[in-house]
Structure 1
Amino acid sequence: MNAGKAFEKLVEIMHILRSDDGCEWDRKQTHASLKPYLIEEAYEVLHAIDKGDDEELKEELGDLLLQVVFHAQIAAERDAFDISDIIKKLTNKLVRRHPHVFGESEGYSYRQWEEIKASEKGKKMKSVIGEINRALPALSLARRVQENASEVGFDWKDNSGVYEKVKEEFKELEEAIKTGDQRKIDEEFGDLLFSLVNLSRFISVDPEISLRRSTEKFVNRFRAVESLIKEEGLKIEKLSLEELDTYWNKVKEGDE
């Protein structure tokens, strides 16, 4: 089955699932109710990429595609738009935003890219930093803003300047904590995070993914600690921090 026929089959199945003779759960869904699943599927795609598992990636990309088809079917039922409208809009956008491929421009230009995006929304480019997508998670948003600024030359030349900035922001946070001024503490903590995101760019780390991995590592180690404590017939809430730290180090040593 070629890609076109396979996609048509998928759209047809989605139509059946939403029909009166389809699935009760699928019929109940709305754009709003599907929001958590869209986010979840996107992160599962990232997890599959991190694992380097092509079979899992294939499956998770399919689950993500399902979300697009699902939303398109719901929209079609409202006579708003359908899947073909989505495809046409995307196709036109790709051609329009790549004049260096489909037009007369020579080579990719960040400024041109942002100018095209602004004109699509009937706006003029207010800043070379581009349009800010506030829907992004905070760490990803910071990285994107920094990348845009870097495209026009506003960036550190090497790691040394970034390291010093991180140290500077950490000291400013320490001073803010001493004052007890919560507004200032919030501000300086944000500045420190922003500087760490800047450092992540220079060492080729995606801050959003890196933090997620560290959080997952913590969860896995904490569960392992719980298991050890349970095996010894103890209760975690009855142990001191020093005792818990001993179990933690034992689990950590086993990971290394």
Structure 2
Amino acid sequence: MTDSNSSAARELDRLLDVMARLRDPETGCPWDKVQTHATIAPYAIEEAYEVMDAIAQQDWVALPDELGDLLLQVVYQARIGEEDGRFDFATVAKSIADKMIRRHPHVFGDATLDADLWERNKAQERAGRAEYGALAGIPRHLPALTRAGKLSARAARVGFDWGTAVEALDKIGEELAEVKAELDVADADRLEDEIGDVLFTVANLARKLKLDPEACLRRANDKFARRFNDMEALLAQRGEALADQDLNTLENLWQDVKRRHRTADSR
């Protein structure tokens, strides 16, 4: 074992011991020892997004800390599983190690790598779990845009797809027309359904263009936040507030901020 691996093993053992103490029924933390699989599950999602944010910001100082927070969620779930007699951390680690070896026979065996090897191995695993069908195994709790992209990609593998991105773009126009047709009725359930169709089709378009729809929306969110914050800052310099402006003033200010951003980005 290398010095690095030895150090990692020691620190992992230490982390497992820390979690055991936090969960001790008598001397543990009052909050930690009453948590369940379900109550702490949402934190794993939050921590995963904080890891993504640190990577996006290229904050290599913060990234180890964020990865540690994410690892804690795995250790936490494993500890609860061990207390309930279902599984422990060793089971988790063995499961993923075995899976990676199984899915990489071109590395750990004598198979030849080809483009479909990974998906064929995953399909065999799903069949072993009695999960059948082209859409089997796609988690329902994924972020909705991510799940839309995965659902449509899986459907595309069996030929259920548009031929070109332009066809997907045309379909967005059709779906928007259906939203417009529902506006007069303003039935919330029907509008939700139609807007959902628009978003699903947009996710399809992103996939056809080999883009991640979730990444596209994150970028749009960040861009909106930057521009909106700049609007607020410009008004604050004049001793004014956003809430005191009429819509026409805000629109003109928004366009001014957009021009400034485009000029800065082109330098």
1:58-80 deviations in whole A, cap 9, x for unaligned?
33222211111122223323333
Q: Distance in 1 between matches of 2:183 and 2:136?
A: 34
Q: 1:67–1:124: structure 2 CA closer, same or farther, 3 Å change rule?
A: closer
1:129-175 deviations in whole A, cap 9, x for unaligned?
33342111211111011111122233233322222222232233333
Which residue of structure 2 lines up, in the alignment, with residue 205 of structure 1? 211
- Preserved contact between residue 110 and residue 151 of structure 1 (Cα < 8 Å): no
1:146 and 2:146 aligned:
no
Q: In structure 1, which of residues 169, 172, 175 is the aligned counterpart of residue 175 of structure 2? A: 169
Deviation at 1:200, TM superposition (A): 0.5
- Preserved contact between residue 103 and residue 118 of structure 2 (Cα < 8 Å): no
Question: What is the TM-score with the length of structure 2 in the denominator?
Answer: 0.78
Deviation at 1:179, TM superposition (A): 5.4
Alignment-mate amino acid for residue 160 of structure 1: V
Q: In structure 2, which of residues 101, 116, 119 is the aligned counterpart of residue 110 of structure 1? A: 119
| 1:78-227 equivalence runs, <5 A | 78-97=84-103, 107=114, 108=117, 110=119, 113-120=122-129, 123=130, 125=132, 127-178=133-184, 180=186, 182-227=188-233
1:5 and 2:14 aligned:
no
> Quick check: 16-25 or 53-62, which moved more?
16-25
Q: Distance in 2 between matches of 1:97 and 1:181?
A: 48
Q: In structure 1, which of residues 36, 40, 59 is the aligned counterpart of residue 46 of structure 2? A: 40
1:232 and 2:238 aligned:
yes
Deviation at 1:41, TM superposition (A): 0.8
Identity %: 39
Segments of 5+ residues of structure 2 without an aligned counterpart are 263-267
Deviation at 1:99, TM superposition (A): 6.0
| Secondary structure, aligned partner of 1:60 | helix
Segments of 5+ residues of structure 1 without an aligned counterpart are none
Q: Distance in 2 between matches of 1:130 and 1:79?
A: 29
Q: 1:23–1:131: structure 2 CA closer, same or farther, 3 Å change rule?
A: closer
Alignment-mate amino acid for residue 150 of structure 1: A
- Preserved contact between residue 168 and residue 205 of structure 2 (Cα < 8 Å): yes
| Secondary structure, aligned partner of 1:34 | helix
1:60-103 deviations in whole A, cap 9, x for unaligned?
22221111112222332333322112122333344455566667
> Quick check: 171-180 or 39-48, which moved more?
171-180
Q: In structure 2, which of residues 60, 67, 71 is the aligned counterpart of residue 65 of structure 1? A: 71
Total equivalences in the alignment: 253
Q: Distance in 2 between matches of 1:216 and 1:184?
A: 30
